[in-house]
Amino acid sequence: MEEEPGTTPGPDGATVEECEDMIRRSFRTPMVKFLREHMGKAGCGVGEKFVKAVNCDKKIAGGYVRGEGIMVCSNHMITQDDVNQVVKHELIHAYDDCRAANLDWADCAHHACSEIRAGHLSGDCHYKRELLRGYMKLRGHEQDCVKRRVMKSVIANPYCSKAAAKDAMEAVWDVCYNDTQPFDRAP
C-alpha cells in the first residue's frame, strides 16, 4: 500500500506537507515576492497553487513546466533555504516563459538562456553555496558555477546532446548572462 503524501519524509528530505509549509513561507521572502509581482505585471499571475510540493523519483530539486507551474521535490528538500532557492530559480524560468512569446524549451539555445539567467539571478551560485558543494575556487566561481549547472540541466533536455548544449550555452552566454530582467541588476 502506498503512503499518503505528507506522512513520511523521503530518505533524507521533507514530507510533501512539510514542503508545502516551506513553499508558503518562501512566498513571504523579498525576492519571491518581487518575482511574483513582476510575473503579474507581465500578465502571468502566480497564485498559491502555481508552486506544488511533490515526491520525485529523479535526483532533482524541482522544475518548471509550461501550463502546469513549478514543482518542488519535497523528498530532496531539507531546509527552508533549499525550498527558497528552488522557488526563486524556477520562478525565473516561469518569468522567462511568460515574457517570451516564442520561448521553445526544445530549443537548446532557449533552454540554455533561461538556465543562465536562473543560475545567475537566483543566487544558486553564491560563493557560500559553492563552498558547501565543495567547490573552493575564489575567483570566477560564479560564472563557472552557472556554466556547470546550465550544462547539467540542458544535457537533461532530450532534444539537446552534450555538444549541442555546450554550443548553445556559448552562443547565448553574453546576452543572457547580462539580461537581468525583471531586476535592474543581478541581485
**Hey, what's the cell of 65?**
513546466
CB 121 within 8 A of CB 180: yes
Give the max Cα distance, the chain. Answer: 52
Torsion, Cα of 19, 90, 127, 23 (10° steps) = -20
Q: Which residues are catalytic?
A: 90
H-type alpha helices, the chain: 16-26, 30-41, 80-99, 108-121, 127-133, 141-155, 162-177
